[in-house]
Amino acid sequence: MSKNQALFERAQRTIPGGVNSPVRAFRSVGGTPRFIERAAGPYFWDAEDKRYIDYIGSWGPMILGHVHPEVLDAVQRVLANGFSFGAPTEAEIEIAEEICKLVPSIEQVRMVSSGTEATMSALRLARGFTNRSRIIKFEGCYHGHADSLLVKAGSGLLTFGNPTSAGVPADIAKHTTVLEYNNVEQLNEAFAAFGSEIASVIVEPVAGNMNLVRATPEFLNALRERCDEHGAVLIFDEVMCGFRVALGGAQEVYGIKPDLTCLGKVIGGGMPAAAFGGRRDIMAHLAPLGGVYQAGTLSGNPIAVAAGLKTLQLIQRPGFYDNLAKQTRKLVDGLAAAARDAKVPFSADSIGGMFGLYFMDQVPGSFAQIQQGDTKRFNAFFHAMLDAGVYFAPSAFEAGFVSSAHDDAVIDATIDAARGAFASLAA
């Protein structure tokens, strides 16, 4: 038995499913999860000391690569002063100022410890601000595991959604309307029917949890217009795409200002940190100023803030995003060329440092289209690449991530491995 297998069997005795987040269990791709022991730059090593080129990057935060020396130094300097205080620090002000500077739609920001906290708090704030209950979300967009967000589309366009998780009461799910991503007609119909009831629309402007799917400009502009017309709060969930697709996030790419924005991943530099922020008049409804309660013992934790602040400073270096986008595009173009040579149906897309791989001829624009992909072929490709020392997301429904440490040699090695993987699929 391999060490990874032994660890997985041991883990399952004390941890449900052997993992602390479901996708890590390899359930959708089969096989044994790799237990990671260390990482550096674009690589990590498993319990058997096998090295992998890492394309999950802790699911997005490691935009500079693992253990970046300047981030490590910032964390080490803070560690000597204490791990947590439960009281304000100047560093919290500094990271808030940096976020507000980089994301113009954010006038004030509240730090939390996870993306789920950010989205659930933003929705509570939107409901408190509008005194309304209904929210709209879109199928395939994942906004964390708060009850009102674990909802799928109902049986008809204008019926309330159905829970996608046991333990979510129908009375909570009924306040969530789920529409098709990038479908302007459905959006208009929902606002025509429920406009005065809608507190908020929450959306990933670049989705990453049904694989990478971009919103169309028409869709996001329609969201902004309908929310303005009906007094609803537009929330961009940029936990994944914020600081990943551009310095100002997806809202910079599209030129659209949401009312509230949820951030995570990159702003913690690999530490547990997230935030939500936006218009000053909305944020004024948060306690201790207003009646919408939100709190967190470890919010603004000094170690997480140190890692996040240094990361935000480093990604502002000239040419950083141009190079990140170039390397990511080189990866997806190389993979697509290898698939064409092997005559395997395949397409790929990228924006900034995020990418998507699809075992289908066309780049998808919705969750329904994503579901038409060949998951069996993806699973075979995943394992062939894993055997070759390349670690992609262990699911056909997750985006991938490139860091600034993924240089030409790393990308070329990945494409070389992919040629063999695609050839094996065509055999």
Query: Catalytic site residues?
Result: 142, 237, 265
What 8-state DSSP symbol labels residue 177? E
- For residues 305 and 386, the answer to whether their CB atoms sit within 8 Å is no
Copy the structure tokens of residue 161.
């959604």
Within 8 A by CB and 6+ apart from 223, the residues are 187, 201, 203, 234, 256
Within 8 A by CB and 6+ apart from 369, the residues are 360, 362
Amino acid at 31: G
Copy the structure tokens of residue 357.
């791989």
Copy the structure tokens of residue 43.
């690589």
Q: What residues does 36 pair with on adjacent strands?
A: 46
CA distance 308 to 266: 7
- For residues 115 and 149, the answer to whether their CB atoms sit within 8 Å is no
CA distance 101 to 415: 38
**Helix count (H) and strand count (E) of the chain?**
14, 18
Nearest to 338 by CA among 346, 328, 349: 346
CA distance 248 to 238: 10
Sheet holding 354-358, edge to edge: 347-351, 354-358, 400-401
Within 8 A by CB and 6+ apart from 281, the residues are none
What 8-state DSSP symbol labels residue 232? P
Cβ-count burial of 125 within 10 angstroms (0-12 exposed, 13-18 middle, 19+ buried)? buried
- For residues 257 and 105, the answer to whether their CB atoms sit within 8 Å is yes
Q: Both ends of the chain: CA-CA distance in Å?
A: 30
